[in-house]
Amino acid sequence: MKFIIQRDQLIASVQDVMKAISSRTAIPILTGMKIEARSNGITLTGSDSDISIESHIPTEEDGIVNIEDIEEGSIVLQAKYFPDIVRKLPEKTIEIESDSNLKVTIRSGKAEFNLNGQDAEEYPQLPKLQSDDSFKIPTDLLKSLIKQTVFAVSTMETRPILTGVNLKLENGKLNFTATDSHRLASREIPISGSSNEFPSIVVPGKSLNELYKILDDTEENVEISVTNNQILFRTKHLYFLSRLLDGNYPETSRLIPEQSKTVLQVKTKELLHTIDRASLLAKEERNSVVKLSTMGNELLEITGNSPEVGRVVEEISVQSIEGEELKISFSSKYMLDALKAIENDEVKIEFTGAMRPFIIRPANNDPILQLILPVRTY
């Protein structure tokens, strides 16, 4: 194998593929990165067996030559050293060559690295998904869906299914839902031009977090394919495969109250900053609890209290308060997460009493829903 490649192109691809590589893995060769040279370009592969990422650099694209002097072949290199080496090489082009003894030479300017490679034949084959029943959504929309839900997954391994995000595609609607059983985040978008459906699947939160990091903020489409145990996200040069979580995701729709006793509408940012300040004095507790009280029809009072340190109280003007008076306590962390996930200027919050879950939605009725269970403080 041999090729000469533009350093910046290689750096970008290496960074993407590294997201799938872990230094702790049961399969030693997976601590390496596979490099495959074909006449049409170079493909880098990384995998921790839960997530697999392939990044392709075409030989030529839009009239620009990325790679020259290709001799086909493949090799696996230690991922621990390769990214730093590529990043610190002195010149803009890099020559990579491997011989029949699996010795790899990386040259750039006067610098020459000789590395021990591993046989690419020993690298596991990635499953090739059938992509017949796939659908497409714009990359930036997929990133929003992830960002607005994935923070609510559970970090506890006691109920593994809750560490994933529940995806459904039914009746032309794609739904993302995550819950750790104390709060829930969900969003639905219409998918047009696809007769496709898949039932409830669960994608590990970790996979979606890594996917979020390597996707660009672009309107170009991501193609998504689902089988019964894997999901594939494919962009022009990227192939991101994740296993699915086994098990049945709990039915969450019954958690969502259908009636409400108190409804308020408030500026998102104003509430966010007020909650943030109220949370300052309760750092000791894990999810520092704050209290919200309605004061007539136009004011809320937000308070935080930490007996040893002190107390904070702040009034905030709201657009409207309808229904019963209310005093309720909740985790400021959950509330801050929920408010950050809503891009709209105003939010509508619907309460059904101090002991019942409450719902936060954007005031423009976008189908984003954040649900939080209150904390009993009386």
Interface residues toward a copy of itself, by CB under 8 A: 78, 80-81, 84-85, 88-90, 104, 110-116, 273-274, 276-277, 280-281, 283, 308-316
Shortest spacing between CB 271 and a copy of itself, in angstroms: 12
Q: How many CB atoms lie within 10 A of CB 322?
A: 12
CB of 92 to a copy of itself, least distance (A): 14
Shortest distance (Å) from residue 84 CB to a copy of itself: 5
d(CA 145, CA 230) in angstroms, rounded, equals 19
Q: How far apart are CA 13 and CA 9, in angstroms?
A: 6
Q: In angstroms, what is the minimal distance from the CB of 302 to a copy of itself? A: 9
Q: What are phi and psi of 208, to 5 degrees?
A: -70, -35
Annotate 289-304 with b (16+ C-beta within 10 A) or e (fewer): bbbbbbeeeeebbbbb
> Shortest gap between Cβ of 267 and a copy of itself (angstroms)?
13
Residue 260: strand, helix, or coil: coil
Nearer to a copy of itself among residue 59 and residue 306 (C-beta):
306
Taking Cα atoms as reference points, which of 221, 212, 242, 225 lies closest to residue 149? 212
Tell me whether residue 163 or residue 305 sits nearer to a copy of itself (CB atom): 305
- How near is the Cβ of 90 to a copy of itself at its closest, in Å? 7
β-pair type (262-267, 346-351): antiparallel
Quick check: 7 and 26 in contact, CB under 8 A?
A: no
Calculate ∠ Cα 32-36-37, nearest 5°.
Answer: 145
Q: Other C-beta atoms within 10 Å of 55: how many?
A: 27
Based on CB atoms, which residue is closest to a copy of itself, 156 or 309? 309
Amino acid, single-letter form, for residue 49: S
111 or 355: CB nearest a copy of itself:
111
Q: Quick check: 54 and 17 in contact, CB under 8 A?
A: yes
Contact between 172 and 189 (Cβ < 8 Å): no
Of 131, 129, 96, 134, residue with least CA distance to 115: 96
Nearer to a copy of itself, 313 or 355 (CB): 313
Q: Which is nearer to a copy of itself, 263 or 280 (CB)?
A: 280
Rounded to the nearest whole angstrom, what is the least distance from the CB of residue 275 to a copy of itself in the complex? 11
Minimum distance from residue 265 beta carbon to a copy of itself (Å): 19
- Cβ–Cβ under 8 Å, residues 317 and 299: yes
Closest to a copy of itself by CB, 197 vs 298, is 298
Q: What strands lie across the sheet with 164-170, from one edge to the other?
A: 198-204, 164-170, 173-179, 183-190, 368-372, 358-362, 346-351, 262-267, 320-323
For the bound state, the minimum distance from the C-beta of residue 46 to a copy of itself, rounded and expressed in Å, comes to: 18
Judged by CB, which is closer to a copy of itself: 115, or 263?
115
Between 132 and 284, CB nearer to a copy of itself: 284
CB of 258 to a copy of itself, least distance (A): 34
Q: Are 348 and 363 in contact (CB under 8 A)?
A: yes
Whichever of 282 and 354 has its CB closer to a copy of itself, that residue is 282
